[in-house]
Amino acid sequence: MRNPPDEALGATDTLPSSPPASGRGPRGGRPASAKGDASAKSHASKAKAKGGNGGEREPTPSPSRLREGDDDMPIRKCILSGERDVRPHLVRLALSPDGRILPDVRAKAPGRGAWIGVTRVELEAAIKKGKLKGALSRAFKTGEFTINPELPAKIESALERNALDRLGLESRSGTVLIGSDRIEQNARQGKLKALYHASDAAEDGNRKLDQAWRIGNDVEGSGLRGLALPVSRTILALALGRENVVHIGLTDRAAAKRVSEALDRWLHFIGPEPSSVSCETASQGASASPQNGAPPIQQASGSTGTRPAVDMTEEFE
């Protein structure tokens, strides 16, 4: 679906693009990888080549957020921070026909949309100070809308559900490994592309699989380890349609990238401290796991009597 003109990023907008400060989530403080630097340079070269229109050039996203293949993706600008990034790293807010602002995490809802890339804490502050209303008024060219105070919670729920749904889709397509023995075997053979642990997984089990992954990648002594997800084994089991899912491994590179992008947006929004790498390189996905002090996480759809906030695609169907 073609985005409306007001969503397109103007070529004359040349605000600097810098990565978020450390501690703002999985993308915050992540060092740029060699692949990320190369992709950024490639994107900049393409933009410069197109700059014959009065010296204008296309803006480039932060190198620390780029991944392989990202340089060909559409770039959007966060209406609150002014930072630019590729669409899969941002959250789209859509204006419903009845004037409500709702999250559209899959960017498929019709009508006008605006993009944000801030954390939940930053969004709540922007709502309180009226900055979000002003930014949306400029983006939508109207002030005829309402912002629900629960919008940050709705976005978090939608991002969580989107991430768990992605894990479920990959499980049904056969790209997910569960069971410590299978994961360890593939890890030692160098086949593992991503590794995740439930929040209530035993530390010794995590360490065993982490070490097997390092051995398989010939990086013993490094900090490579799986990502501890902020959900329990019960929630992961519901998401994957399996029983007792404590650890998750992916051996398909494309599947690992899809999963890590969905998790990256969610974890960046809730704002955990960055502490571990879940993919073979930092440029391939989320690189933080919530530890002590991480914000509480709501349960996935189907696990409680209340249903998480729907995304905009369902709102209009």
Q: At what angle do helices 151-172 and 253-270 cross, to 10 degrees?
A: 160
Of 72 and 279, the structure prediction assigns the larger pLDDT to: 72
pLDDT tens-digit series, residues 170-194? 999 999 999 999 999 999 999 999 9
pLDDT at 71: 59
pLDDT at 261: 94
Average confidence (pLDDT) over 273-278: 44
- Decide: 94 and 66 in contact? Cβ < 8 Å: no
pLDDT at 73: 79
Among 10, 266, 3, 11, which residue's Cα sits nearest to residue 113?
3
Percent of the chain residues topping a pLDDT of 90: 60
Q: Is the per-residue pLDDT at 46 higher than 90?
A: no
Give the residue extent of every domain in the chain.
5-150, 155-284
Q: What CATH fold (topology level) applies to the domain 155-284? A: 60s Ribosomal Protein L30; Chain: A; (3.30.1330)
Task: Quote helix, strand, coil % in the chain, to nearest 5.
Answer: 40, 10, 50
Angle at 250 between CA 245 and CA 256, to 5 degrees: 120
The residue to which tokens 């993009």 are assigned: 115
